[in-house]
Structure 1
Amino acid sequence: MRAEGTFTTHEFTAIDTTPAFEVRTGTEVGIATMEKRYAGKVDGRSATYFTAAYDQATGIGTYVAMESFDGSLDGVAGTFNFAHLASTLGGDRVDEAFVIVPGSGTGGLTGIGGSGGLTVGADGTHRVWFDYTLGK
């Protein structure tokens, strides 16, 4: 099955963390939390941990996100986790990955598995889709 929707970010808060030891690279790593809200056949909200090594001046970098979703896909309500990552060389997204975390589904979404993706349109609209199955 496929569920598609759009999302907006309603909160983005940087987290001040210090690793066990410092490593200097060409791009600093940052960590933040986010709240996203979804509309469409994907309806609900997510709590997100967002990590990125990104150079704002060049637009080059990579992010990794882990989301906990509470809502519905195609009208079926529940919760689950999903992870995604992508890189950019200053333009289009490359080297993308998107996965629903096995065993994370609850409610009507118990047994969910699959993948998905996201795009950002020229107008700034963020679109997401899940290609998923529901098992028992």
Structure 2
Amino acid sequence: MRASGTFSVKSFTPTDVTPEPAITTALPVGVAWLEKHFEGEVDGRAATLFTAAFDQATGAGTYVAMESFEGSVGGRTGTFNFVHSASTAGGDRTGEFFLIVASSGTGELAGITGGGGLRVDEDGTHRIWFDYELS
């Protein structure tokens, strides 16, 4: 099954968490908390732990995000976790990874598995979709 929607980032809060031991690389590593709101066949909110090695001047880098979602997917309500990552050289999106965390679903979303993806349209609209199964 597939469910899709749009989302907006309601908050982006950098943290003071830094890797230990401190190792300097060409791209700084940062950690932030995000809150996202979703609308459409994917409807709800997510708390996101976001990590990235990113150069703000060039837009190059890679991120990894772990999300805890609460809401509905395809009309079924509950919670689950999903993880995604991608890299960019500044204007592209490569090496994408997107996975629903097995055994993380609750309520009507218990047993959810699968993957999905993210896209940002030229007008700035953020899109998400889940390709999922429910056992």
Query: By the TM > 0.5 criterion, same fold?
Result: yes
Give deviations 1:14-71, integer Å, cap 9, x for gaps. Answer: 0001332110100000000000000000000000000011101101000000000000
How many aligned positions are there?
A: 135
Instruction: Indicate the residue corresponding to 1:23 in structure 2.
Output: 23
Q: Structure 2 CA distance, aligned partners of 1:18 and 1:43?
A: 33
In 2, distance between residues paired with 1:90 and 1:80?
Answer: 31
Over 3 Å off, 4+ runs: none
Which letter does structure 1 place at the counterpart of 2:32? A
RMSD (CA atoms):
0.6
Instruction: Report the equivalent of 2:68.
Output: 68
The SS at the match of 1:108 is helix
The runs of 5 or more residues in structure 1 that have no matched partner are none
1:1-136 to structure 2, matched below 5 A, reads: 1-135=1-135
Q: Distance in 2 between matches of 1:31 and 1:47?
A: 13
Question: Could you tell me the TM-score, scaled by structure 1's length?
Answer: 0.98
Aligned partners of 2:18 and 2:30 also within 8 Å? no
Identity within the alignment, %: 62
Give the match's secondary structure for 2:119.
strand
